């Protein structure tokens, strides 16, 4: 367990903009930063990072937290591990209290797999540089056949696995790594005959695969043999820490350059990426020979919406890749294509040209994807009307993937001109394709716009729905009511409002009203996270006094990540509400904060007390049904039930006044 002093130092050092910026491209908007959310698919940014508050919040999916909980979500690690990762970034030494035997046994298997992969990467790299076989076979291949410098080899952690079938596995076992993790990472395989281990990547040069934060999740191995019966590449299998559809090779090394240049270059293989980097082109990633997936596209979409795909002259390979391009279009990305001269591929082209020459070639030869696709397919369909009709259907399929209606319209015009076909026919075909394939969400947008028009036409007597007013009503759950009360406490606990009692206006403080009402009846929250937030707030409030704002960092940087996440959710609740300019122009009254509190706080507390009373009454009624009760016990229960019913009536009257 990490001591509190160290946790505080980590939170004090953590810059949430820097940390989140390693995973998504942030754009400044006023005092905050915005981006498309990394936790769900969206086209319009609703993910907000507040450097002043040290928190992030997505108003689309609701996720929120601080720098440490963001790392937890992105890396799928525990809270202590996330703290260590942030601490390492800022050079903070982490002191931990001794773990119990039980806690040691419960060490995460994922961390064991990461540790083994890290050891294996060092092992392969060391074998490449220090063993005669590694030097003569692996290193000479990288240096002589691929013209890689030692700096490039070191940067990407390239290595070599011994040709002796089980050497790496035996060395890993001797180093203390368990067989179960050698098998689960895929570094080793088990013989059917006796269960003994042998190396998956034996006699291959090794390419470590890093995830977005730089941890090694898998390996790729390339054989140097010319034997056709031996697979050219061998890759790690899916595991607890590796899913090939969610990783892009080279993204860890490319993400900074992608952000700076606002576009990414997509190639096919490991060496394409490495050679381009060595040539000075660093905004390059690869799908590592697998079919491009939606998850990979969305991962790249965190950093840029612009992708340039580089193809070599292999026509069959280009045709096979077209489906992947349609997937990129569907995610709202802008796609351009560069065709290399035959027989070049990105690896060979980068090795034979300088960085300036590669960049200039890309600039001079890149073309819009749909234009490229039309020319490519028209060449195949030349003089054949049936094939041309099929080609038009193929183009319609691609255009229909584009989510932005304006961009779709531009492409329809261009396609109609290129294909010499009536634009209205294409519009109709695209509309039908979208309707049958995805259900066009523009219908929903249209209905919303129509509703806004009707609301505008309704005139100044129509009140706006103030999103920050109380959401709870009679019948709301304990969870909803407790959430509402804690929200008022965190956001407005130090604020005051005037409450009308009869004909008298009574000045009140939010925190004072909440604690007094709940303490008088000895009510404790059922949700443990809300109860913990209440306890932290109350302790600080009693020290500082009424009217003094309790610092938000006490909750946002709390050692319990659940408290942190829930506090972010509550502190940012309704932050995206801004009264419409329409209401201001029409001089419509919009509730002030004090007016909202005067209604919302007493109502939420009273509804909660009513809920507690109802629960107690049900409990007593259930006990009264017991036939084994003595007369004395029965009389006591009836007396208590009558008292609760009187309180219930009083609360009901108070609620009626509040609602009216």
User: pLDDT tens digits for 446-503?
Assistant: 334 434 544 454 444 443 333 334 466 767 788 889 999 999 988 888 888 887 655 6
State pTM to two decimals.
0.64
Q: How confident is the model at residue 172 (pLDDT cuts 50, 70, 90)?
A: very high
Q: Which of 343, 365, 387 is the last residue of a domain?
A: 365
Judge if 50 and 129 occupy the same domain: no
Q: How far, in Å, are 127, 149, 321, 332 from residue 243 at the CA level?
A: 27, 30, 21, 24
List the CATH number of the domain containing 305: 3.40.1360.10
Flag whether 340 is in a domain.
yes
With a pLDDT cut of 70, the percent of the chain lying above it is 85
Flag whether 467 is in a domain.
no
319 membership: H or E segment, kind and range: helix 315-330
Judge if 382 and 498 occupy the same domain: no
User: pLDDT tens digits for 370-398?
Assistant: 778 777 777 767 767 787 788 788 888 88
Q: Name the more confident of 505 and 316.
A: 505
Judge if 150 and 281 occupy the same domain: no
Average pLDDT rounded to a whole number, residues 67-75: 88
Judge if 301 and 397 occupy the same domain: no
> CA 535, CA 201: separation in Å to the nearest integer?
56
- Assign 3-class secondary structure to 546-599: CCCCCCCHHHHCCCCHHHHHHHHHHHCCCCCCCCCHHHHHCCCCCCCHHHHHHH
Q: Which of 11-25, 334-348, 517-531, 640-654 has the lowest mean pLDDT?
A: 640-654
Q: For residue 440, is pLDDT > 60?
A: no
Q: Which of 365, 395, 416 is the last residue of a domain?
A: 365
Flag whether 459 is in a domain.
no
Judge if 559 and 606 occupy the same domain: yes
Q: For residue 90, is pLDDT > 60?
A: yes
Judge if 92 and 136 occupy the same domain: no
* Domains contained in the chain, number: 5
Answer for the pair 175, 112: CB distance below 8 angstroms, yes or no: no
Q: How many whole angstroms from its chain centre is CA 288?
A: 23
Judge if 382 and 524 occupy the same domain: no
Q: For residue 2, is pLDDT > 80?
A: no
Answer for the pair 538, 458: CB distance below 8 angstroms, yes or no: no
Flag whether 448 is in a domain.
no
Judge if 423 and 484 occupy the same domain: no
113 CB-contact burial (10 Å; exposed 0-12 / middle 13-18 / buried 19+)? buried
Q: Name the more confident of 483 and 433.
A: 483
- pLDDT (0 to 100) of residue 313: 63
- pLDDT (0 to 100) of residue 451: 43
Q: For residue 274, is pLDDT > 90?
A: yes
User: pLDDT tens digits for 173-226?
Assistant: 999 999 999 999 999 999 988 889 999 999 999 999 998 878 899 999 999 988
Domain hosting residue 96, numbered range: 4-105
Q: For residue 28, is pLDDT > 70?
A: yes
Q: For residue 658, is pLDDT > 50?
A: yes
Task: Say how many C-beta atoms besides its own lie within 10 A of residue 376's C-beta.
Answer: 17
Judge if 549 and 424 occupy the same domain: no
Answer for the pair 333, 301: CB distance below 8 angstroms, yes or no: yes
List the CATH number of the domain containing 234: 3.90.980.10
Q: Name the more confident of 643 and 439.
A: 643
- Assign 3-class secondary structure to 589-640: CCCCHHHHHHHHHHHHHHHHHHHHHHHHHHHHHHHHCCCCCCHHHHHHHHHH
Flag whether 444 is in a domain.
no
Judge if 206 and 307 occupy the same domain: no
Flag whether 419 is in a domain.
yes
Flag whether 206 is in a domain.
yes
Q: Which of 216, 242, 268 is the last residue of a domain?
A: 242
Q: Name the more confident of 6 and 172.
A: 172
Judge if 350 and 298 occupy the same domain: yes
Flag whether 468 is in a domain.
no
């Amino acid at each position: 367990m990490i001591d509190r002093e160290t946790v505080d130092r980590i939170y004090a050092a953590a810059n949430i903009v820097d940390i989140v910026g390693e995973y998504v491209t942030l754009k400044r908007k006023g005092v905050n930063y915005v981006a498309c959310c990394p936790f769900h698919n969206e086209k319009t940014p609703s993910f907000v990072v507040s450097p002043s508050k040290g928190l992030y919040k997505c108003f689309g999916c609701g996720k929120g937290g601080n720098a440490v909980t963001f790392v937890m979500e992105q890396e799928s690690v525990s809270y202590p591990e996330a703290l260590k990762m942030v601490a390492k970034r800022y050079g903070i030494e982490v002191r931990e209290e001794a773990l119990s035997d039980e806690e040691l046994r419960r060490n995460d298997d994922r961390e064991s797999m990461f540790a083994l992969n890290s050891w294996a990467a060092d092992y392969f790299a060391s074998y490449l540089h220090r063993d005669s076989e590694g030097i003569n076979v692996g290193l000479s291949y990288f240096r002589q056949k691929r013209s890689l410098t030692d700096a490039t080899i070191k940067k990407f952690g390239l290595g070599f696995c011994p040709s002796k079938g089980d050497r790496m596995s035996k060395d890993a076992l001797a180093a203390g790594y368990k067989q179960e993790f050698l098998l689960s990472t895929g570094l080793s395989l088990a013989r059917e005959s006796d269960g003994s281990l042998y190396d998956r990547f034996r006699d291959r040069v090794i390419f470590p695969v890093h995830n977005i934060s730089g941890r090694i999740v898998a390996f790729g191995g390339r054989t140097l043999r010319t034997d056709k019966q031996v697979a050219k590449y061998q890759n790690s299998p899916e595991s607890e820490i590796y899913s090939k559809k969610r990783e892009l090779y080279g993204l860890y090394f490319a993400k900074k350059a992608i952000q700076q240049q606002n576009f990414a270059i997509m190639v096919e293989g490991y060496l394409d990426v490495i050679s381009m980097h060595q040539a000075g082109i660093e905004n390059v990633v690869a799908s590592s020979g697998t079919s491009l997936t939606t998850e990979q596209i969305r991962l790249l979409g965190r950093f840029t919406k612009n992708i340039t795909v580089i193809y070599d002259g292999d026509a069959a390979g280009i045709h096979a890749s077209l489906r992947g391009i349609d997937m990129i279009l569907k995610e709202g990305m802008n796609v351009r294509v560069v065709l290399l001269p035959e027989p070049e591929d990105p690896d060979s082209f980068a090795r034979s040209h300088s960085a300036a020459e590669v960049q200039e070639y890309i600039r001079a030869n890149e073309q819009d994807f749909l234009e490229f696709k039309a020319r490519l397919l028209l060449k195949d369909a030349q003089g054949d009307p049936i094939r041309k009709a099929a080609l038009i259907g193929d183009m319609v399929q691609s255009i229909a993937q584009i989510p932005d209606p304006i961009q779709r319209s531009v492409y329809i015009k261009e396609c109609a001109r290129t294909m010499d076909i009536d634009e209205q026919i294409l519009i109709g075909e695209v509309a039908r394709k979208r309707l049958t394939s995805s259900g066009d969400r523009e219908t929903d947008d249209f209905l919303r716009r129509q509703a806004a028009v009707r609301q505008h036409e309704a005139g100044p007597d129509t009140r706006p729905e103030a999103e920050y007013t109380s959401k709870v009503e009679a019948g709301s759950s304990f969870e909803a009511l407790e959430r509402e009360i804690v929200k008022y406490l965190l956001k407005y606990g130090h604020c005051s409002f005037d409450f009308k009692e009869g004909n008298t206006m009574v000045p009140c403080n939010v925190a004072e009203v909440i604690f007094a009402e709940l303490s008088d009846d000895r009510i404790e929250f059922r949700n443990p996270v809300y109860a913990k937030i209440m306890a932290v707030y109350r302790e600080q409030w009693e020290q500082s006094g009424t009217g003094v704002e309790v610092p938000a960092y006490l909750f946002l940087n709390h050692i319990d990540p659940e408290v942190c996440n829930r506090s972010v959710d509550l502190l940012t609740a309704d932050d995206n509400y801004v009264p419409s300019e329409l209401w201001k122009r029409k001089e419509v009254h919009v509730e002030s904060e004090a007016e909202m509190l005067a209604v919302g706080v007493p109502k939420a507390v009273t509804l909660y007390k009513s809920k507690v009373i109802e629960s107690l009454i049900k409990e007593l009624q259930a006990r009264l049904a017991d036939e084994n009760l003595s007369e004395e016990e029965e009389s006591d229960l009836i007396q208590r039930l009558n008292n609760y019913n009187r309180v219930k009536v009083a609360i009901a009257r108070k609620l009626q006044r509040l609602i009216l």
